[in-house]
Chain A
Amino acid sequence: MTLLLKIASRNILRNGRRSLMTVLAIAVGASAMLLFGEYIAFMILGLQTTMVQRIGHLTVSKQGYFELGSGNPAAYGISHYRDVMKLIEDDPVLKRMVNVVTPNVTLYGIAGNFDVDASKTFFGSGVVPSDRERMRQWNEYRFERTRPALAPVMSDAEPARGVIGVGLARILGLCRPLELGDCPDLPKPAQDGTGPAVRDFKELAQRDLPGNRPARGLPRIDLLAATAGGAPNVVSLYVARAEPQGVKELDDSYVVMPLALAQQLLYGRGEHKAVGIVLQLHRSEDIPAARARLASLFRQHGLGLEVHDFTELQPVYKQIIGMMSAIFSFIAAIMGVIVLFTVVNTMSMSVMERVNEIGTTRALGVRRAGIRRQFVAEGLLLGVLGASAGLLAGAALAYLVNRAGLTWTPPMQARPVPLRLLSSGMQTLVISVWLGLVGLATLAALIPANRAARMQVVDALRHV
């Protein structure tokens, strides 16, 4: 083995320039795969963090809600949801895993600002502000925080304060009160803004809101929705802040309000239910275990509830992972082909130049397998040198990129975040890239090595 590696390493050094080009090609492949892999990992974990902060890891809902509920959320409310939450919170298995358990209400309706005669359909979410604030603190992968805190904009003590999307704020003419920039003026209404529908809405709002305490200095919007019983219902929401949403349709319709207000809107004077119970876990890797435990609990208690994780609720997460994996595979395949051809070319030239040496060593008693091993060892060494150098260079480049202060706006997010290459915890990627390239270089060397091993001794010795 020592002789094998000695001859291999000396032959690599003997053809220094050619070996250097081969090692460089492998190193570039290793660096590219490492950097892109680290970038993808950063992006995916960043996306996961954003989603888990927003919608938790798991959502419990009434059976059938996932497929049909968005058409009529009121019909899929969970009765006695506090009992279900207590069941979850008190379970010894789930207790270890769960960070936050919180109810939510999802609803659709019309939002109006009748001071300027503007209205728009909205997608609303009723939340417990203190729970949501804790959810926003979730940071398993230790990213830099970029989302603003919910408190003191919303708090459990403020029953009518909420947050809306920037797009919706523009449409409802709230740019000035919310001090938003880049806002075009609203077009003048065709009549005087007192059409029959608007008048009815305004009247309903005045009549249904005697109990709401006005929040001083905050603009008010009115939210209209159909209750579970089908009756129209209106509540007022004082908009404390407009937050940009990554998707325009969502930005133009998003309303976050306190849970009690959403329940009042959706259920009126009936039983206040929750449309979902959101669970945020300490660690994402506990999703399967927590989900299985929840299913078991619900089955045991005959609750008729189902559990979905955030990847099911936000299919775009898996789609982005799939797309990135495909791009990574494509890049890896291109790099692999380049490495394959480079090593085959280098080793073929080496074989051609050493035909006489092959004949001599065979005459001295080296078996065909020994010749094969000799050239495979050279391919292996080239692979080891190239992959190691590439990974070191990649690590150095990642260090520089992470300190360059670059920013970008990830998909489905509205704010730019620091661009990072996730270099810690990437052992699997590093080992895979190293093993993959070394294996490929070794495999590539096998082609010319077999050719060398098949040579007839007399023909090789005759070669000039």
Chain B
Amino acid sequence: MTDKESAGAAQVARLREVVKTYDDEGLRVTAVNGMTFDIPRQRFAMIVGPSGSGKTTLLNLLGCIDTPSSGRIEVCGEDVAALSDDALSDFRSRHIGFIFQNFNLVPVLSAYENVEYPLLLLGTGADERRDRTEAMLESVGLTAQRDHRPNQLSGGQKQRVAIARALVKGPELVLADEPTANLDSHTGAAIIELMRGIQHERAATFIFSTHDPQLISHAEETYTIRDGKLVEHRSEAA
């Protein structure tokens, strides 16, 4: 492995002069304006900044659900801008877990089925699927609610299911957009603890977009952005 490759392998994401612009009712908006930075692996990273600063757009680019207008993004060592739509879907399926502010569970599936869903997409065998799903539900403390549909779960329980769904396939990267925004502070704290514990246990990289000071206090890497530009990067010692 060369030094450069070694450096690349240590980063879960690398952005080079990334620009993202879009039209908002005829108005051209630059949400991400030439960002260049790296995000190291196995860290609890936060993207912070005021509303409209481009946090969610940046997270979408890192999650490969949006493509940059220019620049280069490498996620898990792959130049994602070069991938086709289907290849991007497969890439997300294998490498990236998502946790959404509004939980975004499939309403007609039970907690168990929601967690099992990513494994079905990967074509995991039935036995392994069952074992991993049950283990994941147990680790988020929802074994008793496995057959509940999302409308039968509380906000905290829904977010636990969402975390289990994001992590069940063992992704290298977990992206979470304001995961505690719709939870009360007590539940939010419990969810943060849960994610922190799993992150340590599984050595996954978590990247959050958040305003929540409680969550920010756990940051190992903090990327502050304003007007689509990175204005500060702080890194805690590993």
Docked complex Cα distance between A3 and B118 (Å): 11
Docked complex Cα distance between A11 and B106 (Å): 10
Chain A contacts of B86 at CB under 8 A? 367-369
Per-position binary interface string of chain A over residues 1-43, scored 1 when its CB falls under 8 Å from any chain B CB and 0 otherwise = 0010011001100100000000000000000000000000000
Asked if A366 and B121 sit within 8 Å, CB to CB, the answer is yes
Asked if B108 and A14 sit within 8 Å, CB to CB, the answer is yes
Asked if B108 and A10 sit within 8 Å, CB to CB, the answer is yes
Docked complex Cα distance between A363 and B85 (Å): 11
Docked complex Cα distance between A429 and B106 (Å): 40
Count contacts on B: residues with CB < 8 A to the other chain.
Answer: 26
What distance in Å separates the Cβ of A366 from its nearest Cβ neighbour in chain B? 6
Q: Which of B74-82, B91-99, B153-161 contacts A (4 or more CB under 8 A)?
A: B91-99
A-B contact pairs, 15 of them (CB 8 A): A6-B108, A7-B109, A10-B108, A11-B108, A362-B65, A363-B98, A364-B93, A364-B98, A366-B93, A367-B90, A368-B86, A368-B89, A457-B60, A457-B66, A458-B60
Docked complex Cα distance between A167 and B93 (Å): 84
What distance in Å separates the Cβ of B164 from its nearest Cβ neighbour in chain A? 13
Docked complex Cα distance between A457 and B65 (Å): 6
Chain A contacts of B94 at CB under 8 A? 365
CB contact between B100 and one of A14, A362, A461 (< 8 Å): that residue: A461
Docked complex Cα distance between A371 and B147 (Å): 25
Chain B contacts of A365 at CB under 8 A? 89-90, 92-94, 118, 121-122
**Residue of chain A at shortest CB distance from B177:** A461
Chain A contacts of B118 at CB under 8 A? 364-365
Range for the number of chain A residues in contact with chain B? 20 to 34
What distance in Å separates the Cβ of A18 from its nearest Cβ neighbour in chain B? 15
B51 interface residue (CB < 8 Å to A) = no
User: Secondary structure of the A side of the interface?
Assistant: helix
**Residue of chain A at shortest CB distance from B87:** A367
B104 interface residue (CB < 8 Å to A) = yes
Asked if B107 and A362 sit within 8 Å, CB to CB, the answer is no
Asked if A458 and B65 sit within 8 Å, CB to CB, the answer is yes
- Residues of A100-154 at the interface with B, using a CB-CB cut-off of 8 Å, are none
Chain B contacts of A457 at CB under 8 A? 60, 65-66
B117 interface residue (CB < 8 Å to A) = yes
- Residues of A430-464 at the interface with B, using a CB-CB cut-off of 8 Å, are 456-458, 461
A50 interface residue (CB < 8 Å to B) = no
**Residue of chain A at shortest CB distance from B65:** A457
Asked if B108 and A360 sit within 8 Å, CB to CB, the answer is no
Asked if B89 and A367 sit within 8 Å, CB to CB, the answer is yes
Asked if A357 and B121 sit within 8 Å, CB to CB, the answer is no
What distance in Å separates the Cβ of A436 from its nearest Cβ neighbour in chain B? 29
Chain B contacts of A366 at CB under 8 A? 89, 93, 121
Partner-B contacts on A (CB < 8 A): 3, 6-7, 10-11, 14, 356-357, 359-370, 456-458, 461
Chain B contacts of A362 at CB under 8 A? 65, 89
Asked if B93 and A360 sit within 8 Å, CB to CB, the answer is no
Chain B contacts of A10 at CB under 8 A? 108-109
Chain B contacts of A363 at CB under 8 A? 63, 65, 92, 98
**Residue of chain A at shortest CB distance from B120:** A3
Chain A contacts of B89 at CB under 8 A? 362, 365-368, 370
Asked if A458 and B66 sit within 8 Å, CB to CB, the answer is yes
When A365-B89, A368-B85 are in contact, do A360 and B121 touch as well, CB less than 8 Å? Answer: no
**Residue of chain A at shortest CB distance from B57:** A458
Docked complex Cα distance between A97 and B192 (Å): 87
**Residue of chain A at shortest CB distance from B149:** A10
Can you add 7 more A-B contacts, CB < 8 Å, to A362-B89, A364-B92? A359-B104, A361-B106, A364-B117, A365-B121, A365-B122, A368-B86, A461-B65
Docked complex Cα distance between A399 and B222 (Å): 76
Chain B contacts of A3 at CB under 8 A? 117, 120
Asked if B60 and A360 sit within 8 Å, CB to CB, the answer is no
Docked complex Cα distance between A386 and B43 (Å): 54
Asked if A7 and B108 sit within 8 Å, CB to CB, the answer is yes
What distance in Å separates the Cβ of B52 from its nearest Cβ neighbour in chain A? 14
Docked complex Cα distance between A461 and B177 (Å): 11
When A363-B92, A364-B92, A365-B90 are in contact, do A357 and B106 touch as well, CB less than 8 Å? Answer: yes
Chain A contacts of B92 at CB under 8 A? 363-365
When A364-B98, A458-B60, A458-B65 are in contact, do A14 and B107 touch as well, CB less than 8 Å? Answer: yes
Docked complex Cα distance between A370 and B86 (Å): 10
